[in-house]
């Protein structure tokens, strides 16, 4: 994780990468997942990506299995 803000009750799986992101409460990031690395992938998940490249993941977001 680099240049990121991680809120309460967030679990980050082994090997997950988070870069320039704000991760809101109650999120489980699965092992090997990425946030803030691939803009198109983040947008497809419904995350907000600012003009400056900051990714915002909403509270209670659940990754698809």
pLDDT tier at 64 (50, 70, 90 boundaries)? confident
pLDDT digits (tens, 9 = 90+) for 19-44: 999 999 999 999 999 999 999 999 99
Distance between CA atoms of residues 14 and 33, nearest Å: 9
Query: What is the DSSP code string of 1-16?
Result: -BS-EE-TT-EE-TT-
pTM above 0.85, yes or no: yes
Query: Above pLDDT 70, what percent of the chain?
Result: 98
Q: Which CATH number fits domain 5-57: 3.90.1150.200, 1.20.1440.120, 2.40.50.140, 2.160.10.10?
A: 2.160.10.10
């Amino acid at each position: 994780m680099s240049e990121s803000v991680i809120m309460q009750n967030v679990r980050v799986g082994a090997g997950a990468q988070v870069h320039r992101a704000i991760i809101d409460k109650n999120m489980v990031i699965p092992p090997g997942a990425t946030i803030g690395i691939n803009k198109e992938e983040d947008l497809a998940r419904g995350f907000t990506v600012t003009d400056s490249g900051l990714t915002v993941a909403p509270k209670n977001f659940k990754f698809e299995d």
